[in-house]
Structure 1
Amino acid sequence: MWNKRHALFWIALFLFLPAFLSGCGGNGQLHKVKVGEVTRSVFYAPQYVALEKGFFEEEGLEVELQTTAGGDKTMTALLSGAIDVALVGAETSIYVYQQGAEDPVINFAQLTQTDGTFLVSREQMDNFDWSQLHGAVFLGQRKGGMPQMAGEFSLRKHGIDPHRDLELIQNIDFANIAAAYASGTGQFVQLFEPQASIFEREGKGHVIASFGMESGRLPYTVYMTKQSYMNKNDEVVQKLTHAIHKAQIWVQEHSPAETASVISPFFKDTDLDVLESSVKRYLEQGSYAESPEITEEAWNNLLDVMEGAGELKVRASVDELAENKYAKFAIKSDPSP
């Protein structure tokens, strides 16, 4: 029989059920974030782990990932609002700063902390010495991009002027460099994984040195966004950083084979053994950042690399173009996958 007690129950249920469902995620509503990655690469394994393991969803985020091939295109997409967050080299934020942008681009979480390219030779060179590059035809990367600048930094470290001591080829688009080398262009080439491992397996090239090992710690690939977006979406940026840090921990605590298996949906044309070899190589040289925080030492090394390449006009400090509060909070929270 209907009575006052029943009436109060249904009123309370009507008032509080929506809030309860919302708090439990019952409505399935996630905050969408459009992220543009500069390229698709095993170098970004933690990002794909975060996607596949649901770490973004755990933070209430729906990440819409798109590959915006090339640093210039990625930054253009960010500045125009086509994407909310960019995963690209930290040097791009410095270029925007140097142009006097009113709405600067701020780095907030690093994903990789070394250069990710390897020196590949057509012939096996067991006793390789950098002096052997003198006079060689070298298929390099795009001028002003981090791979090329880190490569030049490494070459100068070994007494080689890349523009005088080499026949340097830089007129080939990033996406076509591997194909150009495979077709016979150049004696040496600078390649990311998994292409380096693929070439080794196919007998098209041999990894003889690591530019990541030579150029030191760098905020090489970083999540960044416009200051205006960060101001309006502080909680979103924090949640994104949390998810990335969870993935960083996961990759460090699992085997290359496990990581390769998880990220394989993003590399459907690449065999698992090649993915495993690539992840193993990056782990061994410490390329995957264990922390999203951008250190002053690594930032200053980046400035030195850019200065050596003649691309730096202003030495902007890490405090000007990096916001580490998100990384520090994520680290303090010590999220466990």
Structure 2
Amino acid sequence: MKFITKTIVTLGLTTSLMTASAAALSNDKIRVGMPEEMFLNLVEFVAQENGFYEDQNLEVELVHIADSSIPVRALFAGELDVSQTGMPETLSAIDKGAELVTIGGVHTGLHYTFYVNPDANIETLEDLQGKKLGISGPGTLPHVVMVAMMKEAGMTPEQIEDVTWVSLQGSSSRRNGIVTGIIDATVAGFNPRAVEDPSIGTAFNVPETLPNYVMTPWDTSTKYLEENREVLKRFITAELLATRWVLDNRDEALEVAKTRFDYNEDELIAFYDFYAERIWNPNGMVTPEQAEYMQQLNLEAGMQDNMLPIEEVLDTSIVEEVLAEIGEY
């Protein structure tokens, strides 16, 4: 009887030690809100499939959300840890009292194409006056981008107000809105198949029109930043290393893309070249000047009431730590 009792105690102790050891070795989990699945996210898919997250002892859940206003609310509610779906919404939320902050990003370039209905007679941005324009919703990325482009073209507030905004969530829905005639124009994610579609026209150069625009950086809550700084540092390290691998290994990156997207080789190459040239940011930095520019756009669009101090909306200290360790690209 004593033997049996001793064995049970020993087994219990062994089990406890094994459980503790497994817990010590388990990966930290992080939930990342992102746009609908698109080529933009090749960096994240590579980070998952090639072990960049795992090397940093991370288990990353990618949560794809078409409406870019939802992740901000999810961040505030603690349902997401990081969001990569839009700086304007985050700034607007901070202005209203939300304790959120931008910490950098690898998808900072403006990855939109301007799509138009070929029969809508849109040759200049001024021609948008009186037209039906597709957006995800008021204050979302497509809305802010289109207003910013019209302002850059010198359109007056009265001209900009003389449009009809039509809510269509997701890039594919807005492009379909062009085909069906629901809308006359929209901005949506670059898509080589859509560019070649005769029923959809393209106009203007969105990235060059708004070169300081920050598209989808890493946003998080100040609470999560304070409590999980080391986890965020490992996440940023993995993302930067994966981005650099994608840029340095074009053919291998395209092989990963083939497993994720139903496009032919020429289309995938067009995707890659677009993002590699204009969008992916291998150093992960968002500058104070960019943050100020984004706030100014929000003020002009009525999404923000006050110009906030940069330190209230931007904290790149973790990115700076990572760059000090891995170097700049």
Choose which of 325, 330, 333 in structure 1 pairs with 2:322: 330
| 1:310 and 2:305 matched | no
Work out whether residues 32 and 63 of structure 1, in 8 Å CA contact, stay in contact via their aligned partners in 2: yes
Question: How far is 1:124 from its partner?
Answer: 10
Task: Name the structure 2 match of 1:276.
Answer: 269
2-structure distance, mates of 1:136, 1:173: 15
Work out whether residues 109 and 294 of structure 1, in 8 Å CA contact, stay in contact via their aligned partners in 2: yes
Number of aligned residues: 309
Choose which of 215, 227, 231 in structure 1 pairs with 2:226: 231
| 1:204 and 2:196 matched | no
Question: How far is 1:55 from its partner?
Answer: 0.7
Letter in 1 for 2:112: T
SS of 2:204's equivalent in the other structure is strand
Does 59-68 or 199-208 show the bigger shift?
199-208
Work out whether residues 141 and 190 of structure 1, in 8 Å CA contact, stay in contact via their aligned partners in 2: no
1:155-214 deviation digits (Å, cap 9, x = unpaired): 1211234762686342323233222222122332222123xx222233222332222211
The TM-score with structure 1 as length reference comes to 0.80
Choose which of 276, 285, 291 in structure 2 pairs with 1:299: 291
Task: Name the structure 1 match of 2:140.
Answer: 145
Q: 1:273 to 1:304 in 2, by over 3 A?
A: same
Task: Name the structure 1 match of 2:281.
Answer: 289
1:232-253 deviation digits (Å, cap 9, x = unpaired): 2111010001011112222332
Q: Return 5+ residue gaps in structure 1 as ranges.
A: 1-14
Question: How far is 1:302 from its partner?
Answer: 0.6
Question: How far is 1:258 from its partner?
Answer: 4.3
Q: 1:51 to 1:94 in 2, by over 3 A?
A: same
1:79-99 deviation digits (Å, cap 9, x = unpaired): 222222222212222222222
Q: 1:187 to 1:70 in 2, by over 3 A?
A: closer
Q: 1:229 to 1:209 in 2, by over 3 A?
A: same
Work out whether residues 140 and 169 of structure 1, in 8 Å CA contact, stay in contact via their aligned partners in 2: no
Task: Name the structure 1 match of 2:77.
Answer: 80
Question: How far is 1:335 from its partner?
Answer: 6.5
1:237-287 deviation digits (Å, cap 9, x = unpaired): 1000101111222233233x54333234443x4444323212312333x22
1:212-240 deviation digits (Å, cap 9, x = unpaired): 21112233212222222222211101000
1-structure distance, mates of 2:69, 2:128: 30
Does 134-143 or 180-189 show the bigger shift?
134-143
The TM-score with structure 2 as length reference comes to 0.82
Work out whether residues 130 and 158 of structure 1, in 8 Å CA contact, stay in contact via their aligned partners in 2: yes
1:102-141 deviation digits (Å, cap 9, x = unpaired): xx1122221222322111233399x954445455443344
Task: Name the structure 2 match of 1:252.
Answer: 247
User: Identity over aligned residues, as a percent?
Assistant: 17
SS of 2:203's equivalent in the other structure is strand
1-structure distance, mates of 2:157, 2:180: 23
2-structure distance, mates of 1:37, 1:140: 17
Letter in 1 for 2:140: G
Work out whether residues 136 and 187 of structure 1, in 8 Å CA contact, stay in contact via their aligned partners in 2: yes
1-structure distance, mates of 2:115, 2:65: 26
Correspondences of 1:96-107 after superposition (within 5 Å): 96-101=93-98, 104-107=99-102
Q: 1:123 to 1:178 in 2, by over 3 A?
A: closer
1-structure distance, mates of 2:167, 2:265: 29
Task: Name the structure 2 match of 1:44.
Answer: 41
2-structure distance, mates of 1:70, 1:60: 30
SS of 2:315's equivalent in the other structure is coil
Question: How far is 1:312 from its partner?
Answer: 1.7
